Copies of this chain bind each other. A is one copy, B any other.
Amino acid sequence: MSAPLRVTVWNEYRHELKASHPASTIYPEGMHSAIAQGLREAGYEVRTATLDQPEHGLTDEVLANTDVLTWWGHMAHGEVRDEIVEKVHARVLEGMGLIVLHSAHYSKIFRKLMGTSCSLRWREADERERIWVLEPGHPITNGLEPYFEIPQEEMYGEQFDIPAPDELVFISSFAGGEVFRGGCSFFRGAGRIFYFSPGDQEYPVYFHPDVRRVLANAALWASPVAPERGAALASE
């Protein structure tokens, strides 16, 4: 039997602290708490870390003991210290999985890993996002129907300035007619990266059962294949 997957959920945690912001009501304990709850239900060992903690909560000890890191940020990308970004980058190339969420398409770590601007089309909307499965045999789509819907979301659309993904797993459509490569995997060094677009701070997206399923699947998929884990899998 293998050891449980160790996930660290990182969150900027600023919107939720403003009493006037919808996020403070939707996520009174922070988006990271909701994300972590979903991953714990999948059986993983989960801790959280936030921007305003010392070293953004990402000490060497935390990073060394993280199999998969999830990252949510939006208004404070610039406050993330470059030396922490360098450490996360090095850990990804070493094999740590990274799940990049929603507006973290513009985070320093994602842009550094991609090498492109990571810009996209967006529109403040309040509309239906439909997320289509392109790869029905992919571990990240395990258990999903051909599509699922999020009733209200911000619009993210093409052209999304990223390298062609190593695997294109989901495409979203919006009621306004836009499309978006909302689920993309990238292999960099020994690490696996998954970008997943749903998750605007104004909607309760991280309580959505299919979003939780995707995150649980993605964490498992992104976990490093250490010799012990491989052996465990082979003989389980």
Interface residues of A (CB under 8 A from B): 1-2, 42-43, 93, 95, 112-117, 121, 128, 130, 132-139, 142-143, 146, 157-161, 163-164, 166-168, 171-175, 177-179, 181, 186-192, 216-217, 220, 224-225, 227, 230-231, 233-236
Which residues of B sit under 8 angstroms from A117, Cβ to Cβ?
Answer: 93, 189
Instruction: Report the copy number of this chain in the oligomer.
Output: 4
Which residues of B sit under 8 angstroms from A133, Cβ to Cβ?
Answer: 158-159
Chain B min CB distance to A233 (Å): 6
CA distance A130 to B134 in the complex (A): 19
Are B93 and A225 in touch, CB under 8 angstroms?
no
Kindly identify which residue among B135, B187, B192, B230 contacts A187, using a CB–CB cutoff of 8 Å: B135
CA distance A71 to B157 in the complex (A): 31
Interchain Cβ contacts under 8 Å between A and B, 30 examples: A1-B1, A43-B236, A112-B115, A113-B115, A113-B116, A116-B189, A132-B179, A133-B158, A133-B159, A137-B189, A137-B192, A138-B225, A139-B225, A139-B230, A142-B230, A163-B163, A163-B166, A163-B188, A164-B166, A164-B168, A164-B187, A167-B187, A171-B171, A171-B181, A172-B179, A173-B177, A173-B178, A217-B234, A220-B230, A220-B233
Which residues of B sit under 8 angstroms from A115, Cβ to Cβ?
Answer: 112-115, 188
CA distance A148 to B79 in the complex (A): 39
Are A137 and B225 in touch, CB under 8 angstroms?
yes
Most chain-B CB neighbours within 10 Å: which of A157, A168, A231, A236? Answer: A236
CA distance A168 to B184 in the complex (A): 13
CA distance A142 to B112 in the complex (A): 27
Nearest CB in chain B to that of A171: its residue? B179
CA distance A220 to B189 in the complex (A): 22
List the 4 shortest-distance A-B pairs measured between CB atoms, nearest first.
A137-B190, A142-B230, A115-B115, A113-B115
CA distance A130 to B160 in the complex (A): 16
Chain B min CB distance to A61 (Å): 22
Are A236 and B1 in touch, CB under 8 angstroms?
yes
